Amino acid sequence: MKIFGNVKIAIRKKILQTGAAMLKKLEWLMARYSPVGNHRFFDPALFPWSGELEANWLAMRRELDQVLAHQGSLPLIQDISKDQISISKDEDWKTFFLYGFGYKSEKNCALCPETTRLIEQVPGMMTAFFSILAPGKHIPEHRGPFKGIIRYHIGLKVPEPKELCRIRVDNETHNWEEGKSLIFDDSYYHEVWNDTNGTRVVLFMDVIRPLPFPLSLINRTIIKIISLSPLIQDARNNQTAWEEKFDQAVGQEHDRQDLIEHA
């Protein structure tokens, strides 16, 4: 029996090694043939839709301000996505999800209709949320697992001095600016600092990397498989559970406000 057990372990190891080698080759092809190229940070001009977001950033900021009125009730990133606990173990990184890996948060989107309208026009948008970093927060070095996704940020609330609110991707460092896009490849190791006394908020999006056929089909198939994985489904369930609690908290707050106004 021990021999059979060792054989199973060896087969599993071989499968994992083969899969890793195939993924590495696929990522090389993506980097080589993607029409937007292979960069740490991308020129926003490569993504025409980014201009529409920048032109309407104040509308998104207004909806964000309404969300931040309930900041104490917002979930931590690790409350929704458990795998994030390795890079955020404290209470300094909060989120407000609109989309998560293709799944729409209907209730949250209803609270932010203009932001939702804008992100739904983005080709290949898979994930979108307000990423809220407290003063002094540092997100340690980490990397995304797959080059088939490109990450987008637009600054909605960037405290001064903005140079102390920054992100490093491999060997390049940039700071956020309100109303400006930052687009990068998160498959490179990257880390984040908010060394200011204020809260930093960006609209965070993951979009499918532009690719020619058949790489585009392979990429979308892999992303679909990931979206059906237990990890993503657990995050989806956590988000749904939080939404129900948030609805109750906001409803109770509105009831209290009505009582005050009519007292």
Reported as a single tens digit per residue, the pLDDT across 221-249 is 999 998 898 888 998 898 988 988 887 76
Same domain, 47 and 81: yes
Answer yes or no: are the C-beta atoms of 189 and 141 closer than 8 Å: yes
Task: Report yes or no on 261 lying in a domain.
Answer: no
Same domain, 19 and 45: no
How far apart (Å, rounded) are the C-alpha atoms in residues 158 and 176?
Answer: 7
Answer yes or no: are the C-beta atoms of 100 and 236 closer than 8 Å: yes
Task: Report yes or no on 159 lying in a domain.
Answer: yes
Beta bridge partners of 138: 193
Residue-level pLDDT at 246: 84
Q: Please state whether 136 falls in left (phi above 0), alpha (psi between -120 and 50) or beta.
A: left
Phi, psi dihedral angles at 194 (to 5 degrees): -125, 90
Residue 79 banded pLDDT, cuts 50, 70, 90: confident
Is residue 124 pLDDT above 60, yes or no? Answer: yes
**What would the pLDDT profile of 88-109 be if each residue is shown by its tens digit?**
666 689 999 999 999 999 999 9
How far apart (Å, rounded) are the C-alpha atoms in residues 81 and 233?
Answer: 10
**What would the pLDDT profile of 167-203 be if each residue is shown by its tens digit?**
999 999 999 999 999 999 999 999 999 999 999 999 9
Beta bridge partners of 257: none
Answer yes or no: are the C-beta atoms of 67 and 74 closer than 8 Å: yes
**pLDDT above 90 coverage of the chain, percent:** 65
**Mean pLDDT along residues 72-91:** 77
Beta bridge partners of 190: 142, 169
| Global pTM exceeds 0.85 | yes
- Number of structural domains, the chain? 2
The domain in which residue 24 lies consists of 1-33
Give buried/exposed letters for 129-146 (b at 16+ CB in 10 A, else e).
Answer: bbbbbeeebebeeeebeb
Same domain, 141 and 75: yes
Residue-level pLDDT at 198: 96
